[in-house]
Amino acid sequence: MEKTLVILKPCTIQRNLVGEILNRFERKGLRLAGIKMMQLTDEVLSEHYAHLSDKPFFQRVKDSMMVCPVIVCCYEGVDAIQTVRTLAGPTNGRKAAPGTIRGDYSMSFQENIVHASDSAEAAEVELKRFFKPEEIFDYNQATFGFLYANDEF
């Protein structure tokens, strides 16, 4: 089973969309393995968005992510990274198809509801950045046998 990070951004918190967004992942069948609310710092965001450090919007992105606390989640499932990214839709909410999270709730490139890991390597690094090992749980999900065929996992 693959694990991935999802961050519900401050715009999601401010717009009271937390339950609706978590529900999307839950309805799809992803298993929630960890969740917590936290206030992000400039230091953590500089590390998290280091790949954007040479962009003119770098500080604006960090400032946006510190407006209020965020909710970080670890989701697990077969092909969880791609599944989450498909549910989220393209980064720019104006270009995201209806039915995706960003297509239904975002009009922005930046204020786009969620951050989602883009690869297995990124997910591993990002999950370690936001979760201690004991904050990610392994448990039997009662619906597991109804989510996958027995040869899919």
If you write DSSP's letter for every residue of 48-74 in order, what string do you get?
HTGGGTTSTTHHHHHHHHTSS-EEEEE
DSSP E strand boundaries for the chain: 2-8, 31-38, 70-77, 114-116
Contact 96, 102 (CB under 8 A): yes
pTM, rounded to two decimals: 0.95
User: What CA–CA distance (Å, rounded) separates 4 from 76?
Assistant: 6
Which pLDDT belongs to residue 153? 79
Residues 6 or more apart in contact with residue 64 via CB below 8 angstroms:
9, 10, 11, 110, 111
Q: Does domain 2-138 have CATH number 3.30.70.141?
A: yes
User: What CA–CA distance (Å, rounded) separates 124 from 133?
Assistant: 12
User: What CA–CA distance (Å, rounded) separates 153 from 151?
Assistant: 6
Please name the residue that has the structure tokens 């693959």: 2
Three-point CA angle 90, 118, 136, nearest 5°: 120
Q: How large is the greatest C-alpha to C-alpha distance in the chain, in angstroms?
A: 49
Torsion sign over Cα 111, 114, 72, 18: positive
Task: Show which residues are catalytic.
Answer: 115
Which pLDDT belongs to residue 115? 97
Phi and psi, residue 35, nearest 5°? -155, 140
Query: For each of the chain's 153 residues, which pLDDT tens digit applies?
Result: 999 999 999 999 999 999 999 999 999 999 999 999 999 999 999 999 999 999 999 999 999 999 999 999 999 999 999 999 999 999 999 999 999 999 999 999 989 999 999 999 999 999 999 999 999 999 999 998 899 998 987
